[in-house]
Structure 1
Amino acid sequence: MRTLELSLGLALLCLLCAEAEDPGAVGLDKNKIAGKWYIIAVASDSESYLRKKDELKMAMATIMVLGEGDLKVSFAIPTPEGCKKSEWIYKQTGVPGEYYCPERGNKTAQVVDTDGKTYAVIFASRLKDGKTLHMLRLYSRTQEGSPKITALFKKLAREKSFTDEMIKMLPRQEKCSLDEV
């Protein structure tokens, strides 16, 4: 579950990535990424994810933009043990499109596709025990993604070599959420 939590957070951070070096790259600005997001789909090659994917439910994240482009990201992640809430500060790495959390190790992520308003597809990689793990996530401003966006997510997941068994559309849940910022 920790692998999922760490990757989910970093992915949201990369919504700023293209804007930092190329303001027109994905049509985003810092004000557009701030606020509430739902993680509505995930694909991963992590063995721990694959073992637990049927237990996963929709998570929530809230982003606040801080000075110097840093981000404060708060999470609410439902787990079998209850609602796990956390908050982390993420910093730019200096490499366009990369963010990191000093307390959370070496993880990178990038925006694969977004309309800048309603959804974002994020690809994240991290090194764990000598292996590089990959995760693709679909973020939405609402708890339900349109059929067009979910089809796009599945297509992009297959292009990144994720099999159907690695892809999970996360069921909606109401018990684990964040207070409004």
Structure 2
Amino acid sequence: MPGTLAGWLGRLDPNQLLGPWYVLAVASQEKNFVVEKNVRSIEGVMVTLTPENKLRVRSSLRRLDGCHQRTVELLKQESRWVFENPSLGVLDFRVLGTNFKDYAIIFMQLEQEDEAFSTVELYSRTAVASQEAMRLFTKWSKSLGFLSHEQVQLQEDLTCAHEIVQGVRSAL
């Protein structure tokens, strides 16, 4: 699949990734993922570009003690539309697939506490994924070696997601 990415990435305009998203499904090899996956709910993500051309990813997710927001700024790597911030544990952030308007499949290589792992997330403009988006998420997850127990569709609780997604839409 990497060979087919080069031509496709040349068409990707980062502005198409900007704006509010819902994270509806996740595949991860992080050590605590399998234990926590059944309590994770849909996350909200806001993607913007800073004046310095950094990709800013602000997310809101539910933890046991409530909603938590996190902001990460990513630097563009030499290759097209691949971002990173090793000081924050983000070694690779890239779009694997998108239809340029409804969904995006995001790949991340992360490092936390000296543990490196990969994650694939399904970003959607709506709180319900299309069949095409779910099919591609599953296809990419399997092709990258994620086992079925390392994948989950997030619970339909939008409480934390709406903090970012609806807050942004109402501000537009």
- TM-score interval (norm. to shorter): 0.7 to 0.9
Q: Matched residue of 2:60: which SS?
A: strand
Which residue identity is paired with 1:39? Answer: V
Q: Say which of 25, 50, 55 aligns to 1:41.
A: 25
Distance across 2 between alignment mates of 1:129 and 1:82: 23
Q: Check 1:129–1:135 CA distance in 2 against 1; reply closer, same or farther (3 A cut).
A: same
* Equivalent in the alignment of 1:61: 45
Q: CA RMSD in A?
A: 2.3
Q: How does 1:100-111 map to 2 (within 5 A)?
A: 100-101=84-85, 103-111=87-95
Shift of 1:96: 3.4
CA deviation vs aligned residue, 1:73-131 (integer Å, no higher than 9, x gap): 22111111100012232221334343123651342122211111111111211234554
Distance across 2 between alignment mates of 1:88 and 1:161: 26
Superposition TM-score, scaled by structure 1 size: 0.78
Kept in 2: contact 1:72–1:90 (CA 8 A): yes
Q: Check 1:33–1:45 CA distance in 2 against 1; reply closer, same or farther (3 A cut).
A: same
Q: Check 1:91–1:143 CA distance in 2 against 1; reply closer, same or farther (3 A cut).
A: same
* Equivalent in the alignment of 1:163: 147
Q: Say which of 131, 136, 146 aligns to 2:130.
A: 146
Identity %: 23
Shift of 1:137: 0.9
* Equivalent in the alignment of 2:78: 94
Deviates more, 1:50-59 or 1:29-38: 29-38
Superposition TM-score, scaled by structure 2 size: 0.81
Alignment of 1:173 with 2:144, yes or no, is: no
Distance across 2 between alignment mates of 1:69 and 1:88: 13
Q: Check 1:105–1:142 CA distance in 2 against 1; reply closer, same or farther (3 A cut).
A: same
Kept in 2: contact 1:27–1:115 (CA 8 A): no
Deviates more, 1:128-137 or 1:35-44: 128-137
**Unmatched tracts of structure 1, length 5 or more:** 1-17
Distance across 2 between alignment mates of 1:148 and 1:26: 22
Alignment of 1:82 with 2:71, yes or no, is: no
Which residue identity is paired with 1:76? Answer: S
Distance across 1 between alignment mates of 2:10 and 2:159: 33
**Unmatched tracts of structure 2, length 5 or more:** none
